[in-house]
């Protein structure tokens, strides 16, 4: 060992040991959770290869080996071969669409003898590499239409292939790359529009049937239209830097709304949404007038935002009821608290919340959870693994795990920012964005806060493909990061 260290002193010294410590800590907790989740009574040997805990140990061992190999490779390797790796994985993804083996309604598994692999898990790091490579080419700008189009193509091609494998959940992970684009200069309003869309959807659907203050107005519609107006006016303030105009618009809209709201409450009840539509139309006309007068393009973009928001909101209801499939609609209704049928769609989430809630402060102890042990929670050692953490390790353990993930992400931001080249930075942000998205969706769905989208919790969920995939993702970045000093030399 000492000799090897001598041969490559700089890699071992310059690799980020903090990240490796967090990685090992997460693997350890992950394995303990898989033990808890897959353990059944009377089955004492958690190391036996016939159990999932034993198998997970094999995956962990191989992952560590893969990590070691990845770190030992030359860092220029990834830069050089990124397009080739990406192309190979795309071919593999494409081939998998025609895979005859269907497991749980999904074609994403490639069966090689006794080994089953999910190419989608490996496509993430390949896409990240290709993206890093392309975005680090000389003269690249995300504002150039051609560059932007190619960037989008790099992300959406694997996404479409994965959707065709009927793995919508894994495909959604690719939305995480928008966080990278944001860091690399994409205007923040794109992200904001996305967030706003989610807000419209949740508020609009959740409160659609609830009347506003005894008037025949839908509280959901009222709030969403109010938000659209407020967002538009805020954009005038931020992007057009016209404070006076923004205040004027704010004053007019709010006064009109307030007067008619009071009229509706105390005089003649009527649907105030009509008034809001009228004020919105006036607002849009006003913005267009300002745009014509000042020739500032941003006014038109705000008009586009307002119109798009309204179109989105009014079509969302239609999409929910007529376009989405039943199980997807059920999941959304459950999430919004509109469907209480626990035996049907709400079962998983309800059971997982029971399991977590029963953990208390300190948890029931390793292998002592009744909920997960008795298989109340479906997919409890894969997508719903966080339940076991919550039940057996309690608040202390589960909050600890979340903080560990936060530490990993913050550390990766730090590492990404210290990269001398765009290649390393883009790749680093890709890695941390993917981790963030997984933690956000996976833990959120277990806690009943986000929709049930079947994606694994990194380093926790049982399974070789996902563990290997995350290891590839992380260790390639660690190798690139370790090379930052070597190159400078």
Residues that bind another protein (CB under 8 A): 41, 179, 182-185, 188, 351, 353-361, 370-371, 374-378, 390, 394-395, 398-399, 402-403, 405-406, 409-410, 413, 416-417, 421-422, 429, 432-433, 436, 439-440, 443-444, 447, 449
Query: Least separation, in Å, of the C-beta of 378 and another protein?
Result: 8
Nearer to another protein, 167 or 393 (CB): 393
Who's near 438: CB < 8 A, 6+ residues apart? 173, 455, 456, 457, 458
Q: What is the full DSSP assignment across 67-96? A: HHHHHHS-THHHHHHHHHHHHHHHHHHHHH
Distances in whole angstroms, Cα of residue 145 to Cα of each of 141, 151, 160, 185, 427: 9, 10, 21, 14, 22
Query: Least separation, in Å, of the C-beta of 395 and another protein?
Result: 4
Q: Distance between CA 30 and CA 413 in Å, rounded?
A: 23
Query: Least separation, in Å, of the C-beta of 294 and another protein?
Result: 24
Nearer to another protein, 84 or 449 (CB): 449
Nearer to another protein, 94 or 395 (CB): 395
Give, as one character, the DSSP assignment of residue 457. P
Query: Least separation, in Å, of the C-beta of 353 and another protein?
Result: 6
Query: Least separation, in Å, of the C-beta of 447 and another protein?
Result: 5
**φ, ψ dihedrals at 139, nearest 5°:** 85, 5
Helix (H) or strand (E) holding 347, with range, is helix 347-357
Query: Least separation, in Å, of the C-beta of 403 and another protein?
Result: 7
Residues 262/253, Cβ–Cβ less than 8 Å: no
Give burial (CB, 10 Å; 0-12/13-18/19+) of 256: middle
Residues 204/313, Cβ–Cβ less than 8 Å: yes
Nearer to another protein, 439 or 473 (CB): 439
Query: Least separation, in Å, of the C-beta of 295 and another protein?
Result: 25
Nearer to another protein, 140 or 156 (CB): 140
Q: Distance between CA 423 and CA 156 in Å, rounded?
A: 20
Nearer to another protein, 167 or 392 (CB): 392
Q: Residue written as tokens 């990406």?
A: 86
Nearer to another protein, 304 or 342 (CB): 342
Helix axis angle for 119-135 and 422-446, nearest 10°, is 140
Q: What is the full DSSP assignment across 6-57? A: HHSHHHHHHS-HHHHHHHHHHHHHHHHHHHHHH--TT---TT-TTSHHHHHH
Q: β-pairing, 211-212 with 215-218?
A: antiparallel
Nearer to another protein, 307 or 336 (CB): 336
Q: Distance between CA 277 and CA 280 in Å, rounded?
A: 5
Query: Least separation, in Å, of the C-beta of 195 and another protein?
Result: 10
Query: Least separation, in Å, of the C-beta of 83 and another protein?
Result: 22
Q: Distance between CA 480 and CA 478 in Å, rounded?
A: 5
Nearer to another protein, 264 or 433 (CB): 433
């Amino acid at each position: 060992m000492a000799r090897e260290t001598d041969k490559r002193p700089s890699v071992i010294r310059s690799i980020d040991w903090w990240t490796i410590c967090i990685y090992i800590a997460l693997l350890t907790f992950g394995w303990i959770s898989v033990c808890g989740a897959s353990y059944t009574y009377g089955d004492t040997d958690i190391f036996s290869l016939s159990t999932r805990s034993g198998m997970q140990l094999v995956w962990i061992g191989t992952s560590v080996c893969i990590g070691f190999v990845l770190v030992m490779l030359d860092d220029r390797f990834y830069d050089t071969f990124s397009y080739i790796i990406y192309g190979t994985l795309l071919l593999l993804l494409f081939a998998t669409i025609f895979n005859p083996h269907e497991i749980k309604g999904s074609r994403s598994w490639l069966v090689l003898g006794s080994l089953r692999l999910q190419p989608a898990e490996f496509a993430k790091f390949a896409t990240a590499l290709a993206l890093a490579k392309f975005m680090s080419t000389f003269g690249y700008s995300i504002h150039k239409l051609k560059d932007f189009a190619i960037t989008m193509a790099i992300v959406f091609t694997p996404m479409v292939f994965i959707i065709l494998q009927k793995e919508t959940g894994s495909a959604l992970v690719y939305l995480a790359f928008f966080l990278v684009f944001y860091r690399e200069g994409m205007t923040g309003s794109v992200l904001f529009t996305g967030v706003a869309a989610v807000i419209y959807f949740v508020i609009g659907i959740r409160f659609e049937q609830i009347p506003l203050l005894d008037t025949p107005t839908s509280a959901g519609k009222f709030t969403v239209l109010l938000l659209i107006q407020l967002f538009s006016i805020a954009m005038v303030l931020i992007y057009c830097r016209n404070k006076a105009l923004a205040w004027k618009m704010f004053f007019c809209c709010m006064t009109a709304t307030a007067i008619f709201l009071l009229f509706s409450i105390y005089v003649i009840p009527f649907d105030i949404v009509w008034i809001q539509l009228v004020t919105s139309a006036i607002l849009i006309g006003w913005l267009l007038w300002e745009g014509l007068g000042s020739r500032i393009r941003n006014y038109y973009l705000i008009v586009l935002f307002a119109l798009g928001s309204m179109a989105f909101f009014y079509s969302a209801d239609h999409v929910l009821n007529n376009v989405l499939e039943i199980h997807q609609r059920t999941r959304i209704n459950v999430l919004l608290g509109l469907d209480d049928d626990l035996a049907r769609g709400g079962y998983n989430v309800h059971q997982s919340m029971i399991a977590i809630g029963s953990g208390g402060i300190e948890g029931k102890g390793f292998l002592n959870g009744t909920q997960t042990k008795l298989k109340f929670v479906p997919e409890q050692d894969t997508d719903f693994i966080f339940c076991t953490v919550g039940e057996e390790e309690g608040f202390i353990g589960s909050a600890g795990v979340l903080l560990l993930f936060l530490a990993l992400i913050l550390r990766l931001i730090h590492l990404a920012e210290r990269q001398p080249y765009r290649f390393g930075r883009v790749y680093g942000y890709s890695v941390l964005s993917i981790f963030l998205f997984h933690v956000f969706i996976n833990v959120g769905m277990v806690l009943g806060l986000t929709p049930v989208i079947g994606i694994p919790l990194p380093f926790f969920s049982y399974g070789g493909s996902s563990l290997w995939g995350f290891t590839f993702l992380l260790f390639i970045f660690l190798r690139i990061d370790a090379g930052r000093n070597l190159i400078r030399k």
